[in-house]
A and B are shown apart, each in its own frame.
Chain A
Amino acid sequence: MISGFCVTVPPVSRTRGDAMYTQGLDSLGKDCLQDPAEAHRLEERFQQRVDAEEKIEPKDWMPEAYRKTLVRQMSQHAHSEIVGMLPEGNWITRAPSLLRKTILIAKVQDEGGHGAYLYSATETLGVSRDELFRQLLDGSAKYSSIFNYPTPTWADVGAIGWLVDGAAIMNQIPLCRCSYGPYARAMVRICKEESFHQRQGYEIMLRLARGTAAQKQMAQGALDRWWWPSLMMFGPSDRDSKHSAQSMRWKIKRFSNDELRQKFVDTTVPQADFLGLKIPDPELRLDESSGHYHFGPIDWAEFEQVLKGHGPCNRERLEARQRAYDEGRWVREAAAAWADKRRGGRAARAA
């Protein structure tokens, strides 16, 4: 097998009428064409389809590297939604009113739903749900480093909705046009729901900013904590991003990390001004000639540390996921036993 020419062939059934997609095979990297000329021809044809803005669907031929990139990115995205339930879930029992509590429950439930849409889309690439969970729990898959920061005050819930969901929206809107059909469709569904998340967060900030001096201070503190991590969410600068160029060619990605980050800053600074809060960046200023905000350097050393597992809450987050998995075991077993019993019952009635 020549690396670089290794391409995946979906398991071809010889009869007409095949399964919808290569479900649950965990077959990544197994089937490889041996003939480099044939592989090259298929890759060229694939790229032409992508260039023509045709969507790639689960059973279509795709380069192994395209499939791997998607599995990595989509599963990271799914894991981020699931782990993202934790920092906000922390405040469900302590939300300041019954209305805020029901809103927060609905939002956290949405995040779980987004995780489920994305896992389901990732499974169309031939990797099982079980395998994806395993990768999250054993640390071999990553999730967005933003969720390794703590939520010490109620204002952090507001800041997450406003800034973290705001940054996520910037990232996700172009993904609605991603070349892989199931990912693009999942993103359309997700983006429709994200706007509620961002607006409820901003409204929390607005309420606090117009409240007592202490409440305004609390809002400022949350902005101070979440501003820089939110900018880091767009990923390393394009110069240092190892996957960017290829993902752009494959139209998985439409804009560079730096472009999206700049767009986020340009949109968000006036929103902070409206709140009367101060963005914690002494270098921040509007560049009249370009119309863009200039912002100070990002502390990428901190980003690397959090990514490597040394953020404030990395351990706590994974422990919470592991605990949920372990404590859910009896439920899964009971449901499986119930399904077996029902099947037995039905079979007996039918006999």
Chain B
Amino acid sequence: MGDESRDWPLYEIFIRARSGLDHKHVGSLHASDPEMAIEHARDLYTRRQEGVSIWAVRSSDIIASDPGEAEALFEPARDKIYRHPTFYDIPDEVKTL
């Protein structure tokens, strides 16, 4: 394969299944340009009417959190149980609360 062993850029593909729903990550694909990314995503991820809208994002443009930092990022939320409605004791007689 030699000198042309240059993969086309990788795109992450997000599909909106029906109007009213969020776009959801479905996988990735290689394409030489953004238009091809959309066309390939159509062929690859919506052969059976799985979507009504496609987002394609260059994978290298996505910034991801580091699993090694998960504790630092997400642990502080764990002890804040007062953020949940079930934390509060309300007598049964009180309705619609």
Residue pair B10, A12 in contact (C-beta under 8 Å): no
| Residues of the A chain whose Cβ atoms lie less than 8 Å from the Cβ of B12 | 20
For the complex formed, measure the closest distance between the CB of A125 and the CB atoms of chain B, giving whole angstroms: 13
Count of B interface residues, CB-CB < 8 Å: 30
Number of A-B residue pairs having CB atoms within 8 Å of each other in the complex: 88
Partner of B60, one of A16, A23, A333: A23
Partner of A335, one of B33, B44, B68: B33
B79 at the interface (CB under 8 A from A): no
What is B's interface to A at a CB cutoff of 8 Å?
1, 4-8, 10, 12, 26-30, 32-33, 36, 43-44, 47-48, 59-60, 62-69
Partner of A18, one of B36, B47, B63: B63
For the complex, what is the distance from the CA of A61 to the CA of B70, rounded to whole Å? 13
For the complex, what is the distance from the CA of A325 to the CA of B8, rounded to whole Å? 15
Known A-B contacts A23-B10, A109-B47; the reply to A120 vs B27 at CB < 8 A is: yes
Partner of A120, one of B29, B63, B64: B29
Residue pair B29, A116 in contact (C-beta under 8 Å): yes
Main secondary structure of the interface of B (DSSP, over half): mixed
For the complex, what is the distance from the CA of A110 to the CA of B46, rounded to whole Å? 11
Partner of B69, one of A16, A61, A120, A121: A16
Segment of A224-232, A242-250, A336-344 engaged in the interface with chain B: A336-344
Segment of A127-135, A151-159, A264-272 engaged in the interface with chain B: A127-135
Residue pair A339, B32 in contact (C-beta under 8 Å): yes
Residue pair B1, A335 in contact (C-beta under 8 Å): no
Known A-B contacts A23-B60, A113-B47; the reply to A134 vs B33 at CB < 8 A is: no
